[in-house]
Each structure stands twice: as C-alpha cells, then as structure tokens.
Amino acid sequence: MTCAVIFGGSGFIGCYFADYLLKSQLFDKVYLYDLVSYEDKPFPYRSELLSKHAQKLEFVCGDVRQNIAWKPVEPVGFVANFAAVHREPGHEDREYFETNLYGAENVTAWASEVDCPNIAFTSSISPYGISEDVKDETTLPVPVTAYGSSKLAAEKIHLAWQASDSARRKLVIARPGVVFGPGEGGNVTRLVKAVRRGYFFYMANRKTRKAGIYVKELCNAIWWVHQLQSRPGNGVLLFNGSMNPGPSISEYVEAVGKVAGIKRLVANVPYSLLLCAAYGIDLVARPLRVSHPFSPVRIRKLVRSNNILPKFLVDNSYPYLYSLETAMRDWKQDCPGEWN
C-alpha cells in the first residue's frame, strides 16, 4: 500500500489535489501536512469536498519551516509541495522567504529521507516579473517581488534535489497563473462578486490578459505532466499552468455574466481616479483593520498584463478539460453559494 503526502495540504490547491488523487484511485492513502486543518479554515467547501474521502485521508499538523520529523507507516510514492506564503499584499518580505525557502529545503530533505522519487512543486508565474511582453517557459525569469524571488529560489532547491539522483528522481514544476474555483476566496472570487453586485469597473484594461487556470484543470495537468516522465530524459518538467491564451479581463467579466445570467453595462473609470479612491479607502480601513476589496496593490495589478503562454502544455498536446465559461459553470454548480 503506497501513499502520497501533500505539504500545504489544507490549502486551496492541496485540497483539490487530494480529491483528485483519491477520486482517481492513484493512491491508497493521502496525508495532508499543514499548520491548520482544512476543517478549521474559513472555507467550508474544502471540508465538503474532502468529506467523502474520510477513510483514506489523514491530516498531519506540522510546519514546513521546521525540520520534518513525522513519517507515515506506508511507503511514500509521491510528494506534492504546495506549502507557501503567497498572497500579495498581506505579508512582510521575510515571510515569503521563510516559508518558501525553508519549506523547499525541508520538504526535499524529507523526500530524500523517506526515499520518495517523485515531487511536484507549485511555483508561480511571479518569477517572470512585470512586463507586457508575452512569456513562456523559455523566458528568462526576472522577479521583482519578494514572493517571485522566493519562488524562483525554491525552484532551484527542488532542482538540486532532483539532480542529486537524476537517474531516478522525477520533478514537476508548475508555474500557475491565478488559480480559481470553489473555495478559492481570492482575486477571481472577488471579481465574481464585484461583477454580480455591480461595483466592478474597467480602467482601460478590457484587453489586459491575466493568465489563469481552473483548480481542477491544474490538478489534472500536474498529474498529466508527471505521467510524461515515464519517457527517457524527462526527469525535470516545468510548465506554465494557464488557459491558452490567458483570458483578458473582459473575457473573465463576460464569462461571469453569462454563467450568472446577468447583463450589465460595465463602466470605464479612469485608473488614476480608482487608485486615488483605493488609497483613501485603505487609509481609513487599515487602522481599523477592516478588510476590503479595494487595495491599491490589487488596483495596480488589474492594469498589468500577465500574458503567460502555456507553451509546454500546447506543444505536448495537453487535452484541456475546461474553457473559461465551462470552468465558471462547474464552479457555480459545485458551490452556488459563492455566486449569490
């Protein structure tokens, strides 16, 4: 009997990947290693998603920033490292490095100790940096944020692990764009609410492209790429996780409108006006510790393209499961409460 271990397993991608592995009967047991159980996080859909796997799923409380002493009784056939500090804004620069670098070091050391030859690591498109140019997996990474820099460094740590036994070890590195779906609670969830409730505005950014992928698609793509490693010379495979091409802001808005069954004329407001308003709201809300969707950082990100192409998936004829619209429909069907 073999098992898979997901570090950062209570996170958004971790919960879905556990569901994917167990639903596909790829492993007899899956362990979720995280600081907080998915049952204690403020995303009830994650508990609902995993409730049907109760007999084959086990949560292990632990911190990847520290040496990992725990070991399962079963042989470990696969490790997924999704543990990360990733939300921007929201953390001090050092926090990204503490979790993302120490986590990479401790997870790879643990994989060596338990003699697991397979790791999948979720990096990010953030290492590519800020640019309006089209980028693919061959583009030189030039990170400009602590998050992007920490993720690129973590990639190198995983690559060093694979290189130390390259004849046997297999490494998949996924660089996903924005990952969305039920229980996400992030940027696309905020977009859905803003469009439905009528407070979303364009800022001359209708054509701004935002690389993104449905969470179920990403899980399928990770395993699909891992299966390619049965071919000689595929010890390390890196891919951009995105639809092809990455949807524009207007395409996200149109898809939400179609799935929600609403028709609204979305106004175009000057970027400078919205940015000034965001600073004003943040000035009042921050001292009061009031959460709001109008962070100046998020407003600035909305006008920057993340025009990332999934060249590896396209070149290898990956069979996409979802379009943007069908992904949104699947999301609404699974979790209609997030579309109210």
CA pair distance 188, 193, nearest whole angstrom = 9
How does residue 53 score in pLDDT terms, banded at 50, 70 and 90? very high
Is 19 within 8 Å of 30 (Cβ atoms)? no
**What pLDDT, in 10s, does the model give residues 20-47?**
999 999 999 999 999 999 999 989 999 9
Give the pLDDT confidence score for residue 90 in this predicted structure: 65
**For residue 132, how far is the Cα from the chain centroid?**
21
- Identify the structural domains of the chain with CATH numbers, from first to last: 3-181+212-244+307-322 (3.40.50.720)
This prediction has a pTM of 0.91
The tokens describing 318, both together, are 């990956």
Query: For 305, how many CA atoms within 13 A lie in the half-sphere containing its CB?
Result: 19
**For residue 7, how far is the Cα from the chain centroid?**
14
**What pLDDT, in 10s, does the model give residues 280-314?**
887 877 777 776 666 776 666 666 778 999 999 99
How does residue 89 score in pLDDT terms, banded at 50, 70 and 90? low
User: What integer is the mean pLDDT of 146-159?
Assistant: 96
